[in-house]
Structure 1
Amino acid sequence: MEAKLTTIRSEIEKNLSRSGHNLASFAKVSGLNRGSLSAILHGNPPKPISLGQLDAITRAFGFPEGWLYPLYVDECFSENKISRRRVEPFLVRCAEMGKQHCIDEVLGRIMEYPRPLDIIYTVAERLFCSGRIQESMVFYKLIVDNEQDTYSERMAISQYRIFKSLETTPEVDMEQKLRAVISFEPFRGLLPEDMQLDGLLKLGRVSFALHRWKDVEKFADELRALANGIYREELRRSKGKRGEAFQAERPLVVYYGHGYLMKASALTKQGEYEEAKKYTAGYADLGWFELLDDEGRSAVDDFRLFAVANGFALEILLGNTSVLTSYIAFLADHPGEILPGMVIILESANRFGFSADAVLTRFSREMLRFEQFQDPINVDRVYRLYYQIAMYHITRKQYSKGIDYIIHCLRLTIRLNSGKDFINCVTLFELSREYSSDTQQKAYKELLKEVRQHEEITINDDQRFGIV
């Protein structure tokens, strides 16, 4: 705990005396101008201390960085005004160093002055844009709680930044994501266009993870319309050679393509396969898109690959087994698509009753590596695959294999904290219990005990996300 000090100047004077320095020698050691140092300590009134000067004094004394920060709060205020030149860098530095008590004291006082949100917003933006995402959140949330003009761009950007911070927040559960979507959604149209593009893309992705298919469609439609409008404006600008080029976080073609990809994916999830084909065609060949840089051309290639993969998936989901051999060959050439592709094939095999033995045999070696995945998206895909394989074997009276996969699935539902999937697995096991071995029953009972002991698993409508 930091000791309670008196005033910043008395503390500097005390340590000057202890160190044996006079103003001249200490100015030389600290790198400060002697006249400035004298004005700071002996001026009438004393000259305010900048944060840089304070840090130089601290280093010269050999004290830890931030030593005098608790006393510097007073330096940022006077009776009737606040010094933005001092308070803004001070708040940024305190956030970087984790000096929350200093931040709390400044924020507690700053709200008593006129236009405090101007300062708070500037600090938040400086932190966010320098990569200090979590540190900026306390400032953005203060703006959201205190902004009088709820339709201001500042309010919209603050809501957007809070929503965007989900990307860097570990272990955000589905309920938190849903609340974040609900909070940010009304402000999306108030953002600058570059942020609108990114906001719509992220809203679509989070809504996809939440299984809110109609919302995914809505955001995808808005994203396509906005990206298309900006694209037309950019073409006119480039031909007239006037104005600065539009800048967004990603190339414009990324947002345009995702407008089609998200729409097709949401339709696929709702079983509207023929309609999904139309939107898949919308991102299959974006080579016509002008104004592409290297990143944009790479995105066009990625969309082309997604379209091929999802085109095969749609045919399989429609029961068209004539493409199965070609699809397996495609997956073999694109290892990153094997896991989601196998999920599609097994789901369709269970629905239409065709054999999936060829794909299980072809990718048996790759399947051994699936459980090495740590990210929630791929862990969920592994669960979905194992569940479909379990049903596939049980339907074919290969009970021992099927029950082994059910037990694998149960372990994954605990890892995913997905109560709904856990119940599905328990139900499938109980329907097949009479065919289970003593070893399988023992493993099943141990998993139930584990859940009982921790009591953490919840029903949250799954935690799934994928292209298809």
Structure 2
Amino acid sequence: MDHPPLIRDRLEQRIQQEEISMSRFAKKHNINVGIISSILNGNRVLSIEQLDKITEILELEKGALYDQYINEYLNDATPDWRRIKPFLYRCVELDKLDCIQKIVSMLAGKSQYPGFLFETAEDFFREDKKDAASMLYESVAESENKQHSERLAICHYRLFMARQGDDQEENYQLAIRFEPFVERLNEVEQLDAYTDLANTYRSLRNWKKVEKIAEILLDKAKMLYDCKQAGELPTDRQPQKPWFFYISYAYLLRAHANEEYKDYEQVAHYLKLTTELDWVQEEDEDTLLWKNRFEEWARANSYAARLYAGEPDVLEEYVEYVEQRPEELLVFLLNVVTAANRHRLDLSTVLPKFKHGIDDLEAQTLDDELYTLQLNLERYARLLYELAVYYLERGQYGQGFGYLLECMEQAQRWNYNLLLLKCTNLFERFRGNAEKDIVAKYAELYQHAQRLLHL
């Protein structure tokens, strides 16, 4: 098997091709002649900056020599971290994930490197270079998997956050893998970890888990708030949100869980607690911002809870509310249409007002950030299902089947298997009202659904 010429041989060949002296070559390419001499004589280990300069001189694509660089200069019995670290940062800049993986594999099993890799992973994570960070966190976690360390827990937390995406089954697996590590985090970081974990289970509609985590979060948040007020917490450890947030958010999570259980008295109780904030002592801008958000959330959730409880008179007020807050349209429509299906409400004057907004919802949802994306993808798919039910039950089959088939596509795309099963049952219920082209489209989708659902 032929091997490519060594990097220094490539450089020497280029000097010979240009048929000029080494000093003139160095001046032409703006590189120190002593450095060239040392490289050619094998007396100098290339820095990443020098490697990039040689790559430029050779008129190669940036990073083209990185694989060779690993083999020729980094792969020692005891690799030099002072050379590896800048190389990793440059690999991230050029998105050379394959080279990062080679470095990780090269350092595997060497006990002196996990600390260095962890610090670098934290930098990458802060810079939102999550794929690169995940490789390093995974390596550190594997090397410390038998230890009961906070660093191991942080690795699992970061992997949990970095790897979540559109696939609900994968998100569930990530959540159950991470959950046992939360208690190993420092007590302040646990607030954010439990919040993130609850949000994931909420997007999965696993309300038992949401309620359980909300209880844990509430107890910890209350205890830490009291400790903070008493000056018993280190000042260098701060959660991502204002301290009161975690108490109010735990109440909000419990309100959402009880809404699913149709216990609207408890919903009202917890929503009230989210906004009873006289006990909050902080008055900074961030705290005031979140106070206002909880008041808005409580108001919107109160409208929804009253609708679900069978109070149609609140609909007009809810419509006026969302007309001033278009960012709430998805949640509003889901609540209104679901309540209409449950209580046989007439939305003939409501839905036409928001027809254009419904058409734009999918594109808006895909632009959301991580947890909003997870929640809103699921909400959008459920809205399509509820719209299908609404129109099919009222004999408006064209619209009904249109929403139903779109819901099936979304459910297959994002792995919402329970919703997909509900779609198949709904179609069979109204199959006799479907046109031939609708039946053909359904048959195509159902064939794929059979593989997903093992039917």
TM-score normalised by the chain length of structure 1: 0.81
Measure the CA separation in 1 of the matches of 2:189 and 2:447.
45
Quick check: 1:29–1:60 contact (8 Å CA) kept in 2? no
User: Which residue does 1:367 correspond to in 2?
Assistant: 355
The answer to whether residue 57 in structure 2 is matched with residue 69 in structure 1 is: no
User: Which residue does 1:179 correspond to in 2?
Assistant: 173
In structure 2, relative to structure 1, the CA distance for the partners of 1:269 and 1:248 (3 Å cut) is same
In structure 2, relative to structure 1, the CA distance for the partners of 1:456 and 1:10 (3 Å cut) is farther
Matches within 5 A, 1:136-147: 136-147=133-144
Quick check: 1:285–1:300 contact (8 Å CA) kept in 2? no
Q: Deviations over 1:145-197 (max 9, x none)?
A: 33243421221111111110135x4xx31210111011111111222345423
Give percent identity, aligned residues only: 26
Measure the CA separation in 1 of the matches of 2:445 and 2:343.
34
Matches within 5 A, 1:78-97: 78-79=76-77, 81-97=78-94
User: Which residue does 2:23 correspond to in 1?
Assistant: 24
In structure 2, relative to structure 1, the CA distance for the partners of 1:22 and 1:125 (3 Å cut) is farther
In structure 2, relative to structure 1, the CA distance for the partners of 1:62 and 1:419 (3 Å cut) is closer
Structure 2 stretches lacking a partner, 5+ long = 366-372
User: Which residue does 2:370 correspond to in 1?
Assistant: none
SS in 2 for 1:369: helix
The residue type paired with residue 324 of structure 2 is D
Give the number of equivalent residue pairs.
439
The residue type paired with residue 340 of structure 1 is V
Q: 1:59 aligns with which of 50, 56, 59?
A: 56
SS in 2 for 1:373: helix
Q: Deviations over 1:348-368 (max 9, x none)?
A: 444445xx32x4403422134
SS in 1 for 2:435: helix
Measure the CA separation in 2 of the matches of 1:252 and 1:26.
62
Measure the CA separation in 2 of the matches of 1:92 and 1:291.
39
User: Which residue does 2:405 correspond to in 1?
Assistant: 410
User: Which residue does 1:247 correspond to in 2?
Assistant: 238
Quick check: 1:127–1:135 contact (8 Å CA) kept in 2? yes
The residue type paired with residue 447 of structure 1 is K
Q: Deviations over 1:18-49 (max 9, x none)?
A: 33454434444455444444444437xx2322
User: Which residue does 1:5 correspond to in 2?
Assistant: 4
Shift of 1:433: 5.1
Q: Deviations over 1:80-126 (max 9, x none)?
A: x2200001222332344344554444334323644232343233233
Matches within 5 A, 1:232-381: 232-237=226-231, 244=235, 246-286=237-277, 289-353=280-344, 356-357=345-346, 359-374=347-362, 375=365, 377-378=375-376, 380-381=378-379
Shift of 1:261: 1.4
Structure 1 stretches lacking a partner, 5+ long = 461-468
Shift of 1:300: 1.7
Measure the CA separation in 1 of the matches of 2:426 and 2:87.
60
User: Which residue does 1:228 correspond to in 2?
Assistant: 222
TM-score normalised by the chain length of structure 2: 0.83
Quick check: 1:346–1:389 contact (8 Å CA) kept in 2? yes
User: Which residue does 2:158 correspond to in 1?
Assistant: 161
In structure 2, relative to structure 1, the CA distance for the partners of 1:179 and 1:427 (3 Å cut) is closer
The residue type paired with residue 370 of structure 1 is I
User: Which residue does 1:463 correspond to in 2?
Assistant: none
Shift of 1:260: 1.8
Q: Deviations over 1:120-146 (max 9, x none)?
A: 323323322222111222222223333
The residue type paired with residue 249 of structure 2 is H
User: Which residue does 1:200 correspond to in 2?
Assistant: 194
The residue type paired with residue 13 of structure 1 is E
In structure 2, relative to structure 1, the CA distance for the partners of 1:387 and 1:119 (3 Å cut) is closer
Measure the CA separation in 2 of the matches of 1:99 and 1:456.
39
Q: Deviations over 1:269-315 (max 9, x none)?
A: 12232222222122225475343443332222111111011112222
In structure 2, relative to structure 1, the CA distance for the partners of 1:331 and 1:18 (3 Å cut) is same
Quick check: 2:381–2:411 contact (8 Å CA) kept in 1? no
Measure the CA separation in 2 of the matches of 1:370 and 1:415.
15
Measure the CA separation in 1 of the matches of 2:324 and 2:7.
68
User: Which residue does 1:466 correspond to in 2?
Assistant: none
Quick check: 1:260–1:283 contact (8 Å CA) kept in 2? yes
Quick check: 1:227–1:256 contact (8 Å CA) kept in 2? yes
Measure the CA separation in 1 of the matches of 2:44 and 2:431.
82
User: Which residue does 2:368 correspond to in 1?
Assistant: none
The residue type paired with residue 224 of structure 1 is L
SS in 2 for 1:223: helix
Measure the CA separation in 2 of the matches of 1:82 and 1:394.
67
Q: Deviations over 1:421-454 (max 9, x none)?
A: 34434444444456x3xxx332431222321454
Matches within 5 A, 1:118-137: 118-137=115-134
In structure 2, relative to structure 1, the CA distance for the partners of 1:389 and 1:103 (3 Å cut) is closer
Q: 1:449 aligns with which of 436, 443, 452?
A: 443
The residue type paired with residue 332 of structure 2 is G
Measure the CA separation in 2 of the matches of 1:62 and 1:180.
44
SS in 1 for 2:128: coil
